[in-house]
A and B are shown apart, each in its own frame.
Chain A
Amino acid sequence: AQRVTQPEKLLSVFKGAPVELKCNYSYSGSPELFWYVQYSRQRLQLLLRHISRESIKGFTADLNKGETSFHLKKPFAQEEDSAMYYCALSGGGADGLTFGKGTHLIIQP
Chain B
Amino acid sequence: ETGVTQSPTHLIKTRGQQVTLRCSSQSGHNTVSWYQQALGQGPQFIFQYYREEENGRGNFPPRFSGLQFPNYSSELNVNALELDDSALYLCASSSSRGGRSYNEQFFGPGTRLTVL
Contacts and interface: CB of A to CB of B under 8 A. Distances in A.
A13 interface: no
A88 B40 CA distance: 16
Interface stretch (B65-73, B77-85, B96-104): B96-104
Contacts, number: 61
Contact of B56 (A43, A88, A95, A100): A95
A83 B24 CA distance: 26
Interface in B17-56: 33, 35, 40-48, 50, 55-56
Interface residues of B, number: 28
A7 to B, nearest CB: 13
B48 A94 contact: yes
B5 to A, nearest CB: 10
Interface in B83-116: 90, 99-102, 104-110
B104 A95 contact: no
A95 B45 CA distance: 8
8 contacts: A46-B104, A92-B102, A94-B48, A94-B101, A96-B35, A96-B58, A97-B35, A102-B42
